[in-house]
Amino acid sequence: MPDFISFRGLRYSEGPDISALIAPPYDVVDETTRKELESRSPHNAVRIEVPQEHGTTDRYASARCLLDEWTSQGVLRSDGAPTLTACRMRYTDESGRSRQTLGVLGALEIADGALLPHEHTTPKAKDDRLNLLRTCRTNVSPIWGLAPTPGLTDLLESAGPATAVATDDDGVVHECWTVSDEDQIAAVRHHLAGSPVIVADGHHRYEVARAFREERRAATGDGPGDYD
85-96 per-position pLDDT tens digit: 999 999 999 999
Does the pLDDT value for residue 2 go beyond 80? no
| Single pTM value for the model | 0.88
Q: Is residue 50 part of a domain?
A: no
Q: Is residue 138 part of a domain?
A: yes
Percentage of the chain beyond pLDDT 70 is 91
The confidence score (pLDDT) of residue 52 equals: 95
Q: Is residue 21 part of a domain?
A: no
Number of domains, the chain:
1
Percentage of the chain beyond pLDDT 90 is 61
Does the pLDDT value for residue 228 go beyond 60? no
Q: Is residue 46 part of a domain?
A: no
Beta carbons within 10 angstroms of residue 18's beta carbon: 22
Q: Is residue 119 part of a domain?
A: yes
Domain span at residue 166? 4-14+80-217
Q: Is residue 224 part of a domain?
A: no
Banded model confidence at residue 117, pLDDT cuts 50, 70, 90 = low
N-to-C CA span, the chain: 14
CA distances from 189 to 31, 112, 192 (A): 40, 19, 5
Rounded CA gap, 50 and 32, in Å?
12
Of 117-131, 175-189, 204-218, highest mean pLDDT: 175-189
Q: Is residue 144 part of a domain?
A: yes
Does the pLDDT value for residue 116 go beyond 80? no
52-69 per-position pLDDT tens digit: 998 888 999 999 999 999
Residue among 20, 8, 24 at smallest CA distance from 142:
24
Q: Is residue 206 part of a domain?
A: yes
Rounded mean pLDDT, 105-117: 77
**160 against 173, higher pLDDT:** 173
The confidence score (pLDDT) of residue 226 equals: 61
